[in-house]
Amino acid sequence: MIRNGVTIDDTFAEAFPMKATRILITAHNLTWARHAAVSATGFATSVIACGCEAGIERELSAEETPDGRPGVAILLFAMSGKELGKQIERRMGQCVLTCPTTAMYAGIHEGEAVALGKNLRFFGDGWQISKLIDGIRYWRVPVMDGEFVAQETTAITKAVGGGNLLLLARDTDAALAASEAAVAAMKRVPNVVMPFPGGVVRSGSKVGSKYPALMASTNDAFCPTLFGIAPKTQLTAETACVMEIVIDGLTEADVSAAMRAGLDAGIALGSASGLLRISAGNYGGKLGPFHFHLHKLMGAAS
């Protein structure tokens, strides 16, 4: 399939089940809410080594938050509810409790409840107090700028991780421009995050390695410097740069919508921009049960 000069490969992105939650971080102003959100979602690009994958979903107006202050919604994803619970407590304790003027609330209410402020309250050293409002418990912890307010629990839900697009371009400038346009489009889709720096990963991986200790290694089939060397290369001589965008979402439909938005953004730039192909990464269908076929996303028959 060719759209606006860009080849859309007849392939699919392979994704897998995850657990997720949304947390709403508010503050005296948006600057401090964003400081906390950026810190809380740091070092969260891949569950391979980070424990969770996380990112900022969107900014919130005062009318959208429980306490009437500006805020930021973040999404966190992990492979199990147990691991997600650990990551929530560590990240909220070290990155939100510590940040001036912040408070935090559950952004998902249906699902298994895990601690949000429930354990962090003990930082109050006995001075903490709770408030029950409409059946929801909140904790007020005295801190040096006043008090830290945190909802006792948040809910975790089933989610989907690992949707992806591979953008193959003539040079680095073209690959970055296509990636930035795709990420900007995906950020307008609710319920998804792109957890890598700027939403983009240049070190796409495959499962396994020649080194037994590694569970993943460089995706040599898409490495331009290995063209003509790697036996299973997927590139042509004119492809000098490949970037990947990984998408985590609350539902399969959310990931589909984000991938479609990214495809549309790349196609809008067209081959004149230096974007040559759009592909996706999969492992023959063996890694995960969610398969996002690019041609289906474009509205064509498989």
**Domain boundary assignment for the chain:** 2-15+159-297, 19-157
Q: Residue 214 and residue 228: Cα distance in Å, rounded?
A: 25
pLDDT digits (tens, 9 = 90+) for 240-263: 999 999 999 999 999 999 999 999
Greatest pairwise CA separation for the chain in angstroms: 67
| CA distance between the termini of the chain | 11
pLDDT at 176 over 90: yes
pLDDT at 301 over 80: no
pLDDT confidence band for 207 (50 / 70 / 90): confident
Computed over every residue of the chain, the mean pLDDT equals 96
pLDDT at 283 over 90: no
**Helix (H) / strand (E) containing 107:** none
User: For residue 2, what are the β-bridge partners?
Assistant: 7
pLDDT at 300 over 90: no
User: For residue 133, what are the β-bridge partners?
Assistant: 136
Q: Helix 172-186 and helix 252-269: axis angle, to 10°?
A: 140
54 phi and psi angles, rounded to 5 deg: -150, 160
Provide the CB-side half-sphere exposure for 266 (13 A, CA): 36
**Torsion of Cα atoms, 34 then 202 then 191 then 296, to 10°:** 160
- Is 19-157 CATH 3.30.70.520? yes
pLDDT at 78 over 50: yes
Mean pLDDT of 35-64: 97
Mean pLDDT of 265-271: 98
Percent of the chain with pLDDT over 70: 99
Please tell me if the domain spanning 2-15+159-297 has the same topology as the one spanning 19-157. yes
pLDDT digits (tens, 9 = 90+) for 147-163: 999 999 999 999 999 99
Mean pLDDT of 49-68: 97
pLDDT at 39 over 50: yes
Fold assignment, 2-15+159-297:
Alpha-Beta Plaits (3.30.70)
pLDDT for position 90: 98
pLDDT at 302 over 50: no
